Amino acid sequence: MDKETIKQQNSMRDVLSRYGMVPNRAGFVRCPFHAGDRTASMKIYKDSYYCFGCGATGDIFTFVQNMDNCDFKTAFTIFGGTYQKPDFSSRMAIYHAQKQKEMREKAERKKNEELQECLSDIDLFENRQMAIDFITQHGCCFNQYTKDSLLALPYMLRYGEKEQAENYFNHYIHSSKCRNRFVKAYSQLEKNDVIDCGLDNRFVILAYSQKLKINRSITNR
C-alpha cells in the first residue's frame, strides 16, 4: 500500500485505539507528548491531531513516530506500507525531469541576474531625464538580455511622466515576439481573471495597476 491508501484506511481514532486512547465527546484526549495534561488538550481530527498545550501536530504517521520513537519508514511499514523500487525507465524519466527543471531554473537565474544589471546601467546616465529620454526612444537596449525587457517600467513610472511610461510599455509589447500573450494577460486582468506571476507578467500587472492604456492595434501585427 502507498501512503495515501493507508491514510484513507486508517483514521486518527483508529490509530489512537491501538494505544488504548479514546477521545471524549468533544474529540479531545490527554496529550501523550507532554507531562501533566489533565485537561485533555489534544484535539483529534479525521486524519490529524493538534495539541493546544504543547503544539504537537501531525498525521497518523507522525503520531506513530512520536509514540514508538521511530522514523517514517518504520511507521509506514507498521501500517502495512510497501516500498517498490522504480524500474529503469521510471528512474530515467525522473532523472530527465529533474535535469530539465535544473536547466530552466539556471536559465531563469541567469536572465534575472542580467536584468538586474539594467538598473545599474540606468545610473550611468548623467541625469534622470537623459535616462528617461533614452528609454522612451530605445527601450532597455543595454545588453542582449534587457533589450526586450520591461525592467525599466518602475523607473519610468517613478521618475517620468505617465504618458512616457505608457509609450514605453506599448513600444515593448509592439516589439515583443510574445505580444499576443501579454495582451491576453492584460485582458484577463481587465476581466478580474487570475494570471501567472512570471517575470514579465509582473510588469503587466504593474502597468494595469497604474492604469496604463494598452494599444490594441498591436494585436493585429
- What DSSP line would sit under 9-29, residue for residue? H--HHHHHHHTT----TTSEE
Give the CATH architecture of domain 3-78: Alpha-Beta Complex (3.90)
Strands (E), the chain: 28-29, 42-44, 49-51, 57-58
CB 7 within 8 A of CB 59: yes
The pLDDT mean for the chain works out to 78
User: 141: number of CA atoms within 13 Å, CB side?
Assistant: 11
CA triple 79-81-85, angle to 5 deg: 165
DSSP β-ladder status, 42-44 and 49-51? antiparallel
* Residue 201 predicted with pLDDT over 70: yes
Confidence of residue 112 (pLDDT cuts 50, 70, 90): low
Q: Please tell me the predicted confidence (pLDDT) of residue 123.
A: 56
- Distance from C-alpha of 137 to C-alpha of 152, rounded to nearest angstrom: 13
Q: Write out the residue limits of the CATH 3.90.580.10 domain(s) in the chain.
A: 3-78
* Residue 102 predicted with pLDDT over 60: yes
171-195 pLDDT, tens digit each: 777 777 777 777 888 888 888 877 7
Is 1 buried (19+), middle (13-18) or exposed (0-12) by CB count in 10 A? middle
117-172 pLDDT, tens digit each: 555 555 555 576 776 776 666 665 555 545 556 777 777 777 778 888 888 788 77
Q: Please tell me the predicted confidence (pLDDT) of residue 184.
A: 84
43-71 pLDDT, tens digit each: 999 889 999 889 899 999 999 999 999 99
* Residue 114 predicted with pLDDT over 80: no
Q: Please tell me the predicted confidence (pLDDT) of residue 145.
A: 47
State the cell numbers at 112: 534575472
